[in-house]
Chains A and B, each alone.
Chain A
Amino acid sequence: MLEAIGVDSVGEIFDRQIPAAVRLDRELELPEGLPEQDVYEHLRALAARNTSAEEELCFLGAGMYDHYVPAVVDMLCERSEFLTPYTPYQPEVSQGTLQVMFEYQTAICELTGLPVSNASVYEGPSAVAAAAYMAKLHNGRRRLVASAGLHPHSLETLRTHAHGYGMEVVEVPLTSGSAGGVTDPDAWAEAIDGQASAAIFAQPNFYGAVEDATALSQAAKAGADPLVVAQVDPIVLGILAPPGECGVDVAVGEGQPLGNRLDFGGPSFGFFAAREEYLRRIPGRIAGETVDVDGRRGFVLTLQTREQHIRRERATSNICTAQALNALAAIVYLSWLGRRGIVELGQLLLARTHYARQALAGLDGVSLQHEQPVIREFALRLDADVAAVKRRCARQGVNPGVDVHALSGRPEDSGVLLVAITERRSREQIDRLVDVLAAAVAAERRSTSEAVGV
């Protein structure tokens, strides 16, 4: 080998190309390499120090949910033919991946009620930021109006990116009082002025409340007509009016609930669907149908002139790939669920969530944070320290939900617990949550009043 290359040693290949001053003259300070079985044991031991949804009753949500992932998803995603190719640059040998993208796009269009979908983006919050960038390219305005009902991570991601785009983010508060918990319609209408590039809300919102999407869209259109963007939970779209029917221009969201595992937050995927007029401005890969030279139906990556490798500094995004494997999981999952299944699943979530909410809100020291309709998640206000209550529940093998203040940092979120229900949480398990939370709140209130010094 070396002779053919014309060098005496491998080292010479480097010596002749890398200046000596920037060569590393020592070994990296890393542990010695390990054989496979030892690496496995090490990673297993690390995994064992995490409490997963397998080991406790998990009511955590806030963007990612412990839904059941059917075995067919694992089996298909592990196939070498889907797992190990790159982006389908050579369509003649990538019809599997390309057709999966096309099918995925079809399913996302159906779910959202919008005619155009890309082949996925990285994940939920950055999809919100991508929609905002598209709005900027579309109308050139400089303000983003964002409901406080968006996930705190979406709001922060939007701010990070908007600073880059040179846009400002104006946050619209939620209503308070008996009709509290949804985007304040007056403040929303007022914030949408001639500089509003996009108006963005979440459906259902971060606190679980179903927003009046039609009213929010109409108010925006009646104002300065920005792009109306909704961050939507895809799993409830079997029973919730699709954004496309509510006047929404762009629907984005976190795709994890659709057949993707939790993975401590990623990888998952973001979906991105829009009205027809935005087809040539949307970010990311898009698969399109065509024919080959023999007239056979086939699929290719299309509308590529939007993308960074062609349009460079004027591209609609810098994104290079989709989350193809995660989107495969989604289309397999949606096909597994089927047309009737997604409705039945939505109804089950609705019924169990309502049951859990009623039961929990009836406990001493627990009240509803808002009374709006909810589908799969709801916010409670505890008359006790949430972190301490959670620690007590954990000792009973129950994780009762998300400590919202720890996530959002908002003072008004102090004492708020966000509880999520999936089809994996049976009535029996919900009853157990009720018992454990009741005891934990009572015990915590007792110990606090004792500590205050009676």
Chain B
Amino acid sequence: MNLPAPSPGGDGRAPASAGGPSPLQRERARTIFQKGATSRRAFQCPPPDVPEADPDELLPARFRRREPPRLPEVSEPELVRHYVTLSKRNFDLDSGFYPLGSCTMKHNPRLHERAAALAGHARLHPLQDPERAQGALELMWRLQGALAEISGLPHVSLQPSAGSAGELAGVLLTRAYHEDRGEQRHKVLAPDTAHGTNPATVSMAGLEVVKLATDAEGGVDVDDLRVKADTDVACLMLTNPNTLGVFDANIEEIAAIVHGVGATLYYDGANLNAVMGLSRPGDMGFDIVHFNLHKSFTQPHGGGGPGSGPIATSERIAPYLPRPLVVRREDGSFALEHQRPKSIGRLRGFHGNYGCLVRAYAYICSLGADGLRDASEAAVLNANHLLARLCQKGVAEYLPLAYGRLCMHEFVLSGGPMKRELKIKTLDLAKRLLDHGFHPPTVYFPLLVEEALMVEPTETETRETLDAFAEAIAAILAEAAEDPAVAEGAPYSTPVRRLDEVAAAKQPVIRESL
């Protein structure tokens, strides 16, 4: 595959496309399995301190492994060097702007890591007797209370492992609620702007998803909702503000229609960062909400996990919540309540991702009520500032805002005009941004916007960073107007350049050959 050479003319127009591979590019990727030497090691096994016994007597030969697993054989210095070198092949939030729409890449305070690493949290066994885990249970109970207040829904389970697990809990809760009332409802409504997890979750919960159209303002098409809302509908799943960054102005009417047919209203909390302390899902009429603690409540994303997806519910849904819940007893002590006869049961082992709960709780303690509201206000202000910068001449004619004029915490641009007039696609723009030292926004989502570019700056970025990002976008568009081949060939400065995903999918190689 021959793509155009970097920066034709070599006039320095492209900021990071110097000739020749960089040192990182020169190093061919070798896995840890290709390093080291036979019998090299870091681990020292404690010497045997119990009487020797015949291993065959302890574990019969037919149960034993014949050949050791071919794990790496490296010393500690090699191990450290390998992974530190590998780490440098990543772009990370601590190093640069990461405006990935719908992911809320806000700064991760280091205090949280220190607090979570305290032995009283990090080396606490999940089956420690509750009387000797009172600090952990109290933390969970306080977090439940804070999330209830933030969402306006009084009952909270911290168990779900991530947003998708919270969603599954929500749909199973809805099912349990209807089944308990003797009703079998099989449809779940979701807008066509919904995250892919919504329909995937609905299938896993044994229900069927029905798509709702989007109106001209980017909200739910209320007429379409009226037609589709019937007594077969178990639930409407909604993100508000939605994936277009639009707060649905008809939310009260939507809630009335959904409740009118006896269905529940589910709030996908992916975008809660826009409304903390400003508007509450419970007050909007939602029955169930999931939180993405790794978004609004700032967990480090770890390269894709771990996260945490607690749920909050109204009174009528509460009896079905996963078990156990953390409760405070009359004597002021804290306990795990397992006796919940109508519960949908467990979603996972133990009590949820406690390490993430510690961080989220630390965040809420740091910010307090006014701080959370300030965070949401600043997130929305930052998004609107960046949007205003991108609405200027030189950009807006190629990357128009898909819906609305103002936005909440994120906005979606359409790269359609850019593709037609400048002959570069959203993907090319994204790849060229890498050469400017920025992580690109989310691309090609939501699906109903042509060549979509979804930008979420978050509240923890400075105005200077936002301005520099807007300037980079303008520079890439100006460069494309002169020569689209530059963006089409980008990136040039990264550890590797564009990768052949077709080859990877066609003949999958998903482990090292040993």
Q: Do chains A and B touch in the complex (CB under 8 A)?
A: yes
B86 interface neighbour in A66, A72, A96, A106, Cβ under 8 Å: A96
Shortest A348–chain B CB gap in Å is: 6
Q: B31, B40, B51, B149: which has the most chain A beta carbons within 10 Å?
A: B31
B73 touches A339 (CB 8 A): yes
Chain A, 39-63, CB within 8 A of any chain B CB: 39-40, 42-55, 58, 60, 62-63
Q: Which of B113, B349, B369, B498 contacts A151 (CB 8 A)?
A: B349
In the bound complex, residues from chain B placing their C-beta under 8 Å from that of A312 are 196, 199-200, 209
Q: Are A160 and B86 in contact (CB under 8 A)?
A: no
A394→B130 CA distance, assembly (Å): 13
User: Which chain A residues lie closer than 8 Å to B164 at the CB level?
Assistant: 308, 318-320
Residues of A within 8 A of B92 (CB): 80-85
Q: B302-326: which residues lie under 8 A (CB-CB) from chain A?
A: 302-308, 322
Chain A 296-338 against B: per-residue CB contact (8 Å), 1 yes, 0 no?
Answer: 1111101111011111111101111111111010011011111
Q: Which chain B residues border A308 with CB–CB below 8 Å? A: 164, 195-197, 199-201
**Alpha-carbon gap, A7 to B100, bound state (A):** 26
Q: Are A164 and B499 in contact (CB under 8 A)?
A: no
B500 sits at the interface (CB 8 A): yes
B29 on interface, CB distance cutoff 8 Å: yes
CB 8 Å contact bits of B194-216 with A (1 = contact, 0 = none): 01110111111110110000000
Knowing A44-B118, A79-B84, A308-B196, say if A92 contacts B494 (CB, 8 Å).
yes
Other contacts beyond A4-B389, A22-B283, A92-B496: 4, CB < 8 A: A51-B124, A263-B124, A317-B204, A340-B39
Pick the contact of B305 from A30, A321, A347, A409 — CB < 8 Å?
A321
Q: Does A103 contact B165, Cβ atoms closer than 8 Å?
A: no
Pairs A-B, 8 closest by C-beta atoms? A47-B120, A265-B350, A33-B368, A325-B302, A265-B126, A49-B135, A267-B306, A80-B94
Q: Is the CB of B305 within 8 A of A44?
A: no
Given A63-B350, A91-B499, A106-B31, verify A43-B358 contact (CB < 8 Å).
Answer: yes
Interface-lining segment among B63-71, B228-236, B474-482: B63-71
Binding stretch for chain B, among A220-228, A234-242, A444-452: A234-242
A111 lies within 8 A of chain B by Cβ = yes
Whether A265 lies near B351 (C-beta < 8 A) is yes
Interface stretch among A120-128, A186-194, A360-368, A432-440?
A: A120-128
Asked if B373 is an interface residue, CB under 8 A from chain A, the answer is yes
Find out whether the CB atom of B303 lies under 8 angstroms from the CB atom of A116. Answer: no
Report whether B135 and A48 are in contact in the complex, using a CB–CB cutoff of 8 Å. yes
| Contact in complex: B168, A164 (CB < 8 Å) | yes
Report whether B278 and A14 are in contact in the complex, using a CB–CB cutoff of 8 Å.
yes
Inter-chain contact B351/A264, CB cutoff 8 Å: yes
Contact pattern, A 347-358, Cβ under 8 Å of B = 1, otherwise 0: 110111011000
CB of A88 within 8 Å of the partner chain = yes
Interface centre among B80, B196, B408 (most CB of A within 10 A): B196
Across the two chains, which residue of chain B brings its CB closest to A108?
Answer: B511
B385-397 contact mask (Cβ, 8 Å, vs A): 1 or 0: 1011100000000
For residue B468, CB closer than 8 A to chain A, the reply is: no
> Does A412 lie at the interface of the complex (its beta carbon under 8 Å from any beta carbon of B)?
no
Q: How far is the CB of A185 from chain B (nearest CB, A)?
A: 15
Residue in contact with B74 in the complex, picked from A46, A53, A323, A335, CB distance below 8 Å:
A335
